[in-house]
Amino acid sequence: MSNRLQLNPNRLFSPDPTIRQIATELYDSIKGLPIVSPHGHTDPAWFANNNAFSNPTELLIQPDHYVFRMLYSQGIRLEALGLGNSKEAQLVDPEAVWQIFAENYYLFRGTPSRMWMDYVFAEVFKIDVALDAHTASHYYQVIDQSLQQEQFRPRALFDRFNIEVIATTENPLDKLQHHQKIAESDWTGKVLTAYRPDNVLDPEQADFAEQIGKLSDISGETTTDYQGYLNALQNRREYFKRHGATSTDHGHLTPFTANLSDAQASKLYDKAMLGQVSAEECELFRGHMLSKMADMSVEDGLVMQIHPGCYRNHNKEVFAGFGRDKGADLPMPTEYVKNLKALMDKHGNNPDLQVILFTLDETTYSRELAPLAGHYPSLKLGPAWWFHDSPEGMKRFRQQTMETAGFYNTVGFNDDTRAFMSIPARHDVARRIDAGFLAELVADHRLRLEEAHELAVDLTYNLVKKAYKL
């Protein structure tokens, strides 16, 4: 007989009865607050078209790099999971993929993915048996039949999950037609875009000049010179802002910033368009453009997010065969104090600029990031991100940043996911961890209980709304 699938109401809370009681009280006061998801990668077409999700595999496995990177690490070929454009992948039966997933579900024991998935199975689809090889078919049929029902369409789930607002992420060449369609519909769900210009800021991309040509076409600006290039970028920012954007997003390899003269920047731009820049010059250009993006944010009010320190597409073979975002992105050591100096010299003391900084290098939390955010008015810390949005990662973030930056130089939680079904699970984990962390401070007599209640609401709801101007 299969084990039952049950979510313990005290999960993630301390076994100490005093701390657990306080944590439970705090959690109960915030668990029903609306979800604010200010940064992520869900597909706006889901909400624009409101079509039914096709099947359990396409919804829960194939978009989720947390899932298939674990399976791949154990020798399961991505083609067997239906990924890629090969004939084999196209002919894979979705239920057969689900069976592979179920047979290997034990691999996720103790991981955040297991916790998120169990939440989805139990809370969203109301399945009460554990997933394994024997229950795989039952799972597939229950989920598949549910997805055919009106209450499991994207807009209905958005409302059911109590999502107040969700932000997607698009590059400057996107026409934002899905966001336009949502705005023109009678649905009241709030889906915003965020402006991510990496593809037109990085001269090391093989098609950089081609991307700039497309930028010229869509903006109507001439990009043959540096000033026209800046005008085109500004044009698209204004377009995104008219379609609801409140933030920009920058996924540069490093947080290096620079303040070049117009003449220096123009010379680099001309060389980049000819494909004649060195790796060092590419980094200099990217660093300068981060500072220019900050200049523009001061003018137009868009919040600036910087997500550095990730070595993208580390697996050469997987990248060649399957493209980006296939689980082969890896954290890197990242330096912030020196790299951000040029930007802080220019705008660090300006409260009209809001920079939200993320990291994949936890060793910088207490040494660099908390002291920076604890001083500069323009800088705030984003939450534990990507590889670290786990219970332990969230605790480490609080422990290592609170002492210097406090709570109010952070910006609440964001899920940064394309796995739509996992959003309520991820926010629930964050709320439980924050409730537990605050409960320990109360039990240690470092916080009054009424202060902890205020903080719990701020960390869950108020800080993220304020930081992202929502």
Percentage of the chain lying above the pLDDT 90 cut: 97
State mean pLDDT over 433-446: 98
CB contact set of 242 (below 8 Å; sequence gap of 6+): none
Which amino acid appears at position 440 of this protein? E
The tokens of 355 are what? 């920079």
Q: How confident is the model at residue 1 (pLDDT cuts 50, 70, 90)?
A: very low
Please list the helix, strand and coil fractions of the chain in percent, rounded to the nearest 5, in that order.
55, 5, 40
- Burial of residue 445 (CB within 10 Å: 0-12, 13-18, 19+) is exposed
| Number of H-type helices and E-type strands within the chain | 21, 9
Percentage of the chain lying above the pLDDT 70 cut: 100
- Burial of residue 131 (CB within 10 Å: 0-12, 13-18, 19+) is buried
Judged against a pLDDT cut of 50, whether residue 255 lies above it is answered with yes
> d(Cα 87, Cα 55) in Å, to the nearest integer?
20
Question: How much is the pTM?
Answer: 0.96
The answer to whether 120 and 4 are in contact (CB under 8 A) is no
Judged against a pLDDT cut of 60, whether residue 281 lies above it is answered with yes
Judged against a pLDDT cut of 90, whether residue 2 lies above it is answered with no
DSSP state of 171: -
